[in-house]
Structure 1
Amino acid sequence: MIRHTVRALCAASLVIAPLALSTPAHAAVTCTVNGIAVSGTTVNGTSGSDFIRCGGLAPTDSVNGLGGNDFILVTGAVGGIVSGGAGSDYVQADAGTTGSGQVLGNADGDYLSVGPNAGSTNGGTGLDFCRVASGNPPVNCEF
């Protein structure tokens, strides 16, 4: 009886083990855009001015302010891309960027504030003010 139970348990482990080792699906980033919860690997603002607040971003996540003068606040580390888009944007990522993370101001004069910057911070075109706490220096920033 014990031998049959052991065989059954071994057979069951061959079925269950691959399920336990499979890679879980990527959990989407959850943000609020103008007070409305939005989830997905890509979160977009509107063509007007927006207030976007997100947690951390995985390398496959992106947040885009699109047009208008946007305020984007990321409370966790940025592993993906945060882009202000066109307009004078304020982008704050106090937890900083990972090696794959990017904080982009894009067109017009922007203010970018980034914690430890292991990735890249790029003001884009226009007169931009960029501040990084440590790590890689920002580029395309005049102030």
Structure 2
Amino acid sequence: MSDLEIRSATPADLPAIVAMLADDPLGATRESPDDLTPYRDALDQLVNDPRHQQLVAVRGERVVGTLQLTIVPGLSRRGATRSQIEGVRVDAAERGSGLGGQLIEWAIEESRRQNCQLVQLTSDASRSDAHRFYERLGFSASHTGFKLPL
């Protein structure tokens, strides 16, 4: 896959990113590709905070994957820094191609480069295919997560 570029997202990438976020049963209920305003504001915040990276995978001129990587300092685990992977999505036409694994491997390597001691991610309980994917990459389902909508 030498024709693949992984780079920081730009505002021009937002339509493709949001389309991927909305392209599943969960995303279809919580994303709004017809109004990019809140996504522009969020991307602006991500770009201006060095602890966050919104990445895209581009093949040719087309955005085919995305993820967010956040570096989180902490006191637990002897002051360990961890990274949090969020919003991993691959364009439907690219699923099964190994692109998702490449994105996660990039995030793991970047986490090492930033001296993180742990890489973590969450995945909705209903996404059993995603859980198998993350386990194949070496992640373990070690915790139970909780969320509180505000």
TM-score (norm 2): 0.28
Greater C-alpha radius of gyration: 1
Specify which structure has the higher proportion of strand.
1
Specify which structure has the higher proportion of helix.
2
Q: Which has the higher contact order (CA 8 A, sep 6+)?
A: 2
